Every structure is written in C-alpha cells, then in structure tokens.
Amino acid sequence: MKYVDEFRAPQILRNALDEIEALIEPGRHYRIMEVCGGHTHAIFRFGLKELLPPQVELIHGPGCPVCVLPMGRMDDGLNLANDPDIIFTAFGDMMRVPGSQGSPLESKARGADVRIVYSPLDALRIAQQNPARKVVFFAIGFETTAPSTALTLLRARDLGVNNFAVFCNHVTIVPAILAILDSPDMRLDGFIGPGHVSTVIGCRPYEFIARDYGCPIVVSGFEPADILQSLVMILRQLRAGTSIVENQYGRVVPWGGNLAALKAMAEVFEVRPHFEWRGLGFISHSALRIREAFAAWDAERTMSVRGVSVADPKAAQCGEVLKGVLKPHECKLFGKECTPERPIGALMVSSEGACAAHFKYAGVNLSAAG
C-alpha cells in the first residue's frame, strides 16, 4: 500500500477486525499498551477503541514527552525564561505546560522574551541574530527529537556561537517501558511499539524486553490499518505462546535504526544516572544529558538551574493515567477543572496527551469502517 486512503479503506479495516475477533481465546481479556503519544492520538481520532471487541483493552502509556516532564523541570525552565537577559525558545506544545508558577505563555504575557520555534536550529539562528543576549532552547522529547538537538549543538560548536545554550530534557523510551513492566499494579499482555522513536533507534533495543518479560512488541505505524494490523500480530503471538519483536512499520523503520542520527546523539549526549518522570518517579538511566565536551552550550552548567522537585497538584491524577492505571475520564478533574483551554495537568496540553485526545475525540466512531 502506498497512499493514505489505502490505510483507511473500510474493507481492510474490517478484515483486520474480523481476524482480531477470530484470534481471541474464550474467557481471556487482553491488555495491550501503546507507548507512543502519536498512537494514542490516532486511536482516539479514528475511534479504534469502539471498533475493537470488549476483550481487547488498550492502555495508554507514557509516550508523550510533554506529559512525562515533571513540574520541577518546568519550573527550572520558567526560571530561565523569566531572566530579562535571556531569550527563551521552545516548541509550541510547551507553551501552555503548567509549572507551579504558571506556563511559558503566561511568562510571555508578563513580559518575558519567550518565542516559539519549529526546530532547535531556529533557536540557534535567533542567537546569531542577537549576539548580545543569551538564547536558551528548551529541549524535550524522546529519541525522535534528540538527533536534531545534537546536530544543532554540533553546528553551534562549529560556528562558534557562544551565546546559545540548551536546557536538555530528552528522555529515552526503553527504561520507561521497563519501569511499567516492573510496576506491581500493572499487568500487560503486549505492546504496540513506538513508531517515531523506532525510526531512530530501530527495533533491537526492545528484544530483551520481549525475551525476558514475555511481552510481544510490535512496532507500528499510525494509520488505522497499521494499528489494527499490529494488534493482529500481537494476538497471533499470544495465541502461539511466543514473544518477539516484530516490525509492522517496515516501510519507515529500519531494524537497526538511523545510524547517522545515533552517531550524532552518541557524540553529544550521555546517559543521566537518574531522571524524574511525571507519574513514574525517578528512573535510572532514562534520560540524556550534554557531554562535558559541549559544556559551554549546556544551560545546566552555565546558568542558574536549581534542579527543583515539585509535586503535582494533589487533585490531578496524571501519574495514574500515565501508568495506565486510570483511564483519562476517570480522573476527578477531567473535563471539569482540567480542560485543554485551562489545563491543570500536562496530559491535557499536548495533542499527544491521553487526556487531550480523549477530550477531543471521545465518542467519535470511524463510521467508514462500518
């Protein structure tokens, strides 16, 4: 298949749904987690949960990088943004993420120089255009966006742009999956593997999870046919009693990953010993920091970054939703105090957040599949 319409064709979707029905074992309930926020968004957008038989339950995992950022790191970023000598730059989905003292957008409204950029190279360009001021890029994301940050730091070094710095908040996906698997209150039968992350890291990093934990993992694309076919592949494995990594998204994801991107990341970043995740707590070796060789462009080394730890609002249940213990609508604040217009938790901010997707698309059915 080559065109989007083919991945949404009703007969293809119906065939996949019929095979899912046929693969279900009597009396068995299946809990399958998608760990990519893009999958969560697609599942709600296309109404896939409503199409699946009730025995197949989809659990929304911590695959939205905006959502897993702890409030303390947001406060550290806001502290930089509020410095009158700093131009603070970030992606658009960071602008409304709440810290304990507001959001970057609210800091901008109070007079801070906060700017939306579409890539870290945009932030580097701003630094070149404003040599008398410091420009900070708030770097966030899984391995999907880390290569662009790495390449920007390499370019800053090569050009000698010394008024540019990165506040690094890049996290890695495999330790988060392990933390979920080791959680005593979580039982999962399989994973829809992250598509975007896997374009960079490939499929090999998941092999020991399938082998040691007995959970099938299928790296999936983002169209309805991709996700349903991935579920078919997972259920086939469960029916056969096997657990391996499979690549449904082979048209995009190379098994060994993107070697050029991995090389750039390895040159610029190293693994942090510990990093805090919203809802999951501190996870060992789960994030990236900038290597000593690039210390001159590391905001945590060259600027006042306090490294604070701030608890989420008590009423918000972001942690339980991130771990898949609660569905978004089961949070006490969902759709009441917490909405996309006035978010209390980060899961309601990003379009990939489970709460934002549920709020926007809940009840929407993919009528074309009928």
Is it the case that residue 259 has pLDDT exceeding 60?
yes
Confirm if 243 and 209 have CB atoms less than 8 A apart: no
Arithmetic mean of pLDDT, 106-121? 96
Is it the case that residue 363 has pLDDT exceeding 60?
no
Arithmetic mean of pLDDT, 350-362? 82
pLDDT on residue 135: 98
pLDDT digits (tens, 9 = 90+) for 60-75: 888 888 888 888 999 9
Confirm if 114 and 104 have CB atoms less than 8 A apart: yes
Is it the case that residue 368 has pLDDT exceeding 70?
no
pLDDT interval class at 370 (50, 70, 90): very low
Sequence spans of domains, the chain: 4-28+36-55+174-247, 69-171+258-302
DSSP state of 292: G
What is the DSSP code string of 173-194?
Answer: HHHHHHHHHT-TT---SEEEE-
Binning the chain into helix, strand and coil, the percentages to the nearest 5 are 45, 15, 40
Judge whether 4-28+36-55+174-247 and 69-171+258-302 match in fold.
yes
Residue ranges with strand state E in the chain: 30-34, 56-60, 86-90, 114-116, 134-141, 164-170, 190-193, 217-219, 245-247, 269-271, 274-277, 281-284, 288-290
pLDDT on residue 325: 80
Q: Which CATH number fits domain 69-171+258-302: 3.40.50.11740, 3.30.70.141, 2.30.30.40, 3.40.50.970?
A: 3.40.50.11740
The arrangement of secondary structure in 4-28+36-55+174-247, i.e. its CATH architecture, is 3-Layer(aba) Sandwich (3.40)
Is it the case that residue 313 has pLDDT exceeding 90?
no
pLDDT on residue 358: 86
Is it the case that residue 365 has pLDDT exceeding 60?
no
CA distance 166 to 253: 28
Query: Mean pLDDT of all residues in the chain?
Result: 91
pLDDT interval class at 32 (50, 70, 90): very high
Is it the case that residue 367 has pLDDT exceeding 70?
no
pLDDT digits (tens, 9 = 90+) for 140-165: 999 999 999 999 999 999 999 999 99
pLDDT on residue 341: 81
pLDDT on residue 198: 98
pLDDT interval class at 318 (50, 70, 90): confident
Length of the chain: 370
pLDDT on residue 73: 92
CA distance 258 to 256: 7
Is it the case that residue 369 has pLDDT exceeding 70?
no
pLDDT digits (tens, 9 = 90+) for 196-255: 999 999 999 999 999 999 999 999 999 999 999 999 999 999 999 999 999 999 999 999
pLDDT interval class at 166 (50, 70, 90): very high
Arithmetic mean of pLDDT, 27-47? 93
Is it the case that residue 88 has pLDDT exceeding 70?
yes
Is it the case that residue 281 has pLDDT exceeding 90?
no
pLDDT on residue 114: 97
pLDDT on residue 364: 38
Structure-model confidence comparison of residues 49 and 123, the more confident one: 123
Is it the case that residue 351 has pLDDT exceeding 80?
no
Arithmetic mean of pLDDT, 262-277? 96
Is it the case that residue 356 has pLDDT exceeding 70?
yes
Is it the case that residue 26 has pLDDT exceeding 50?
yes
